[in-house]
Amino acid sequence: MRKIIFVFLLFVSFHAWSQQAEIKGMVGRAKDRLPLSGANIINLSRLTGTITNTSGYFRLPAAPGDTLLISFLGYKSYKMKVDSADFGVFHKIYLQQEPIVLQEVVIRGHELTGVLPVDLALLPVQKPPKINLHLDLLFGDTTANGFTRLNDALRKISDPVGMLYNFFSAHGKDIRKLKRLKERDEVYSMLTRRFDRKILSELLHIPPEEVYRVLQWCDYDEQFLRSASDMQILEALKQCYEQHRPVMERK
């Protein structure tokens, strides 16, 4: 009987330990294997996080089934699904640098004769751009920066309640979950320092362009969307949600 009790207690202790175990590892650059100091590691399942030290090392509590997000500004993020075999292993995670796309600018010169009528005749005449009426007029024109410019006239005559209702019905749970974040939490601190929307997008399961579209319906201007931190964007979403919740509940 004592042996059975001992085995049972041993099993319970091991189970409790496994639920509170830590994932340990190092984050570095894939190009040269050098460590990345200050990389963000977030447990998306538990809203806990940490950053790598000067040697790129980190340790973060996790349990089997949790999802970890490893990110660093200027590098592609990496997601790790925690398995029971991941405990007790030192993980080496190398991030790929994101390519920087530089637009090529072609400058063409024109030889001038000094005679104004002749020079004017030599200048190329650009045809006006062809205008296509597209559904983008209804849903906004998304630029390369991920911002959405809405037509003011359509904004005035369109009713945003339906669109906001669908958005917050699908994502309201994630937004409410993030309301638990406190200023002392590491994830909260990360969001105040980040401006690239990567972590926020993963936490909310929402593409950045969709967040921008909703906030523009809530009267946030493009300047705010460009300059706000991820935490400010989250606070704006929560405020928009609270403002429209009574209307959506009556819908």
The secondary element (H helix, E strand) that includes residue 232 is helix 230-250
| Domains in the chain: boundaries | 21-95, 137-250
- Cβ proximity of 28 and 37 under 8 Å: no
Using DSSP, state whether 50 is helix, strand or coil: strand
The secondary element (H helix, E strand) that includes residue 48 is strand 48-51
pTM over 0.85? The answer is: no
Q: Are strands 40-43 and 141-142 parallel, antiparallel or unpaired?
A: unpaired
Helix, strand, coil % (nearest 5) of the chain? 45, 15, 40
- Cβ proximity of 163 and 217 under 8 Å: yes
Each of the 251 residues of the chain gets a pLDDT tens digit; together they read 555 554 445 544 445 444 559 999 999 999 999 999 999 999 999 999 999 999 999 999 999 999 999 999 999 999 999 999 999 999 999 999 998 765 565 656 656 666 666 555 666 655 544 444 333 433 444 444 444 444 444 454 455 667 787 888 888 888 888 888 887 789 999 999 999 999 999 999 999 999 998 998 888 998 999 999 999 999 999 999 888 777 666 66
pLDDT value of residue 17: 45
Q: Which CATH architecture has domain 21-95?
A: Sandwich (2.60)
Alpha helices (H) in 94-229, listed in sequence order: 116-122, 136-139, 152-157, 161-178, 186-193, 198-204, 208-217, 222-227
Measured distance between the N- and C-terminal CA atoms of the chain, rounded to whole angstroms? 62
Q: Which two tokens stand for residue 221?
A: 């201007």
Q: Which two tokens stand for residue 182?
A: 């406190």
